[in-house]
C-alpha cells in the first residue's frame, strides 16, 4: 500500500482553543451579521479528523459522520497509511464561513442548516436561567452550567473568536454565568431574546474577584452594555463580600474587582468605567469640607470598593499623578482631574444600575 503524505502541523491543536491567527474568514451571527474574527479558534474543529487526514472539519460534523456510517469511516482510517510532514506550510484559513445561531450559538458551516435551526431553536422563545436584574431596558439572567451546559459552551466558543485565550469553554462548571438580554423588542434590530453580552465569575475564588471574563456580542456594542455588566458585577461582588464580612465580623472595607490580567477588550471597558467613577469621586473629595484626615486613596476605596491597584492604574491612565522633583514625592494634578471631569461631562454621570432592580434571591 502506497503511503499518503499528509501535511499537518502537530502544534495546531497543542493548546486547545488557542491560535495566534484567525483561522476562519467570516463569522456569521444569525442571518444578519457578518463579523471578522480577531483570534483563531481550533476548538470547534475535529483534532482527530485533522491528525488522520490533514483536513479541517467541524467537530460536530465529524461526530455526525461517525454516527451515520461509523464502520465505514473506521475502516478507511485504519487502512490509511500516513506520513506526517510536520514542516508543512498550513493554510491559515481553515474555513471560509462559520455560522452561529444568534439565540443559542450552535454553529455550522452550512447556511441552510442554520436557517432551519433558527426556525426551531428552543432559545428563540425561552431564555435560560433566572432573573437577577430587571431594568427599564435590559435584564440579566444567571444561567446554570448544569441545566444549560451546551448553550454556555457554544457561547464561550463563539467568544474565543473575539477574545484572547482567557475565555473558558471546557471547565464551565467552575464559573457562574450572567447573560444580558434586551427587556423589550427592538423592531429595528430585532434583538429580543438574543444574548447581547455576558460575564463569567469564578466560583469560590480565594481572591474574591467579581468577574473573570466579559464579552459584548460585536453587533451590540456602543450601547453602554459593558458598563452595565461591570456595574452589576460590582453590585454582586460587594453584596457577597459584605455578607461574608458580617459573617466573620470584619470591619475592613470590602474591595473587589475583575480577575487579572484582563483581555485588551476587558481592560478598555474597565478603564472607561473606572475613569468616570473615580474622577467624579475625586471631585467630590476635593469639595468636601468635613473629610478630616482621610487620604484620597482611602476615600476612593471606601466609596467605590475598587481594588487599590485598579485605582492607581486608573489614575495613571488619566495622567493626573505627577512627581515633585524638589520633594521627591508624588502628588495629584487637580487641573488634569478637572479637565477630564469637564471633558467627559461627568456632572451628569449616573450609574446605569438601580439597586432597586437587583434581585439577590439566588
CA–CA dist 4, 80 (Å, integer): 7
- Asked if residue 232 lies in contact with residue 140, where contact means CB atoms within 8 angstroms, the answer is yes
Give the pLDDT mean for 184-207.
Answer: 81
Helices (H) and strands (E) in the chain, counts: 10, 13
Residues 6+ apart with CB under 8 A from 297: 308, 311, 312
pLDDT in tens, 230-275: 999 999 998 888 776 654 555 678 899 999 888 888 999 999 999 9
123-253+351-357 in CATH: which number?
3.40.630.30
**What are the domain boundaries of the chain?**
4-116, 123-253+351-357, 275-347
Give the pLDDT mean for 349-356.
Answer: 90
Q: What torsion do the CA atoms of 220, 225, 230, 233 make, to the nearest 10 degrees?
A: -90
Q: What SS3 state is found at 229?
A: helix
Of 43-47, 96-100, 102-106, 165-169, the one with minimum mean pLDDT is: 165-169
Count of residues in the chain:
362
CA–CA dist 311, 293 (Å, integer): 19
User: What is the value of pTM for the model shown?
Assistant: 0.88
Mean pLDDT, all residues of the chain: 86
CB atoms within 10 A of CB 216: 22
**Pairing verdict, β 33-35 and 175-182:** unpaired
259 is catalytic: yes
pLDDT in tens, 18-59: 788 899 999 999 999 999 999 999 999 988 888 887 788 898
CA–CA dist 235, 210 (Å, integer): 9
Q: Which of the following is catalytic: 61, 174, 259, 303?
A: 259
Q: What radius of gyration do the chain's Cα atoms show? A: 25
Of 29-38, 286-295, 305-314, the one with minimum mean pLDDT is: 286-295
Percentage of the chain surpassing pLDDT 90? 62
CB atoms within 10 A of CB 307: 19
Amino acid at each position: 500500500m502506497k503511503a499518503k503524505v499528509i501535511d499537518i502541523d502537530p502544534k495546531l491543536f497543542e493548546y486547545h482553543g488557542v491560535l495566534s491567527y484567525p483561522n476562519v474568514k467570516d463569522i456569521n451571527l444569525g442571518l444578519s451579521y457578518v463579523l471578522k474574527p480577531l483570534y483563531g479558534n481550533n476548538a470547534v474543529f475535529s483534532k482527530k479528523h485533522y491528525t488522520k487526514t490533514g483536513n479541517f472539519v467541524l467537530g460536530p460534523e465529524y461526530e455526525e459522520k461517525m454516527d451515520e456510517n461509523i464502520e465505514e469511516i473506521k475502516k478507511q482510517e485504519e487502512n490509511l497509511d500516513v506520513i506526517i510532514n510536520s514542516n508543512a506550510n498550513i493554510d491559515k484559513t481553515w474555513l471560509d464561513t462559520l455560522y452561529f445561531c444568534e439565540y443559542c450559538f450552535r454553529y455550522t458551516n452550512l447556511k441552510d442548516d442554520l436557517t432551519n435551526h433558527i426556525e426551531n431553536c428552543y432559545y428563540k422563545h425561552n431564555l435560560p436561567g433566572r432573573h437577577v436584574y430587571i431594568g427599564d431596558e435590559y435584564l440579566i439572567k444567571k444561567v446554570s452550567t448544569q441545566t444549560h451546559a451546551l448553550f454556555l459552551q457554544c457561547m464561550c466558543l463563539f467568544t474565543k473568536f473575539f477574545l484572547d485565550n482567557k475565555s473558558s469553554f471546557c471547565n464551565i462548571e467552575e464559573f457562574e454565568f450572567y447573560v444580558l438580554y434586551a427587556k423589550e423588542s427592538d423592531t429595528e434590530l430585532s434583538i429580543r431574546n438574543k444574548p447581547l453580552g455576558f460575564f463569567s465569575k469564578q466560583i469560590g475564588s480565594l481572591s474574591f474577584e467579581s468577574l473573570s471574563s466579559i464579552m459584548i456580542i460585536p453587533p451590540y456594542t456602543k450601547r453602554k452594555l459593558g458598563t452595565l455588566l461591570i456595574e452589576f458585577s460590582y453590585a454582586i461582588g460587594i453584596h457577597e463580600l459584605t455578607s461574608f464580612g458580617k459573617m466573620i465580623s470584619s470591619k475592613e472595607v470590602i474591595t473587589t474587582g475583575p480577575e487579572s490580567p484582563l483581555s485588551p477588550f476587558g481592560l478598555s471597558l474597565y478603564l472607561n468605567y473606572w475613569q468616570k467613577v473615580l474622577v467624579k469621586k475625586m471631585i467630590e473629595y476635593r469639595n468636601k469640607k468635613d473629610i478630616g484626615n482621610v487620604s484620597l486613596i482611602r476615600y476612593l476605596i471606601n466609596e467605590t470598593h475598587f481594588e487599590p491597584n485598579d485605582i492607581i492604574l486608573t489614575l495613571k491612565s488619566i495622567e493626573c499623578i505627577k512627581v515633585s522633583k524638589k520633594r521627591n514625592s508624588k502628588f495629584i494634578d487637580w487641573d488634569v482631574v478637572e479637565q477630564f471631569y469637564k471633558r467627559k461631562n461627568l456632572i451628569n454621570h449616573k450609574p446605569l444600575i438601580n439597586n432597586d432592580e437587583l434581585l439577590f434571591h439566588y
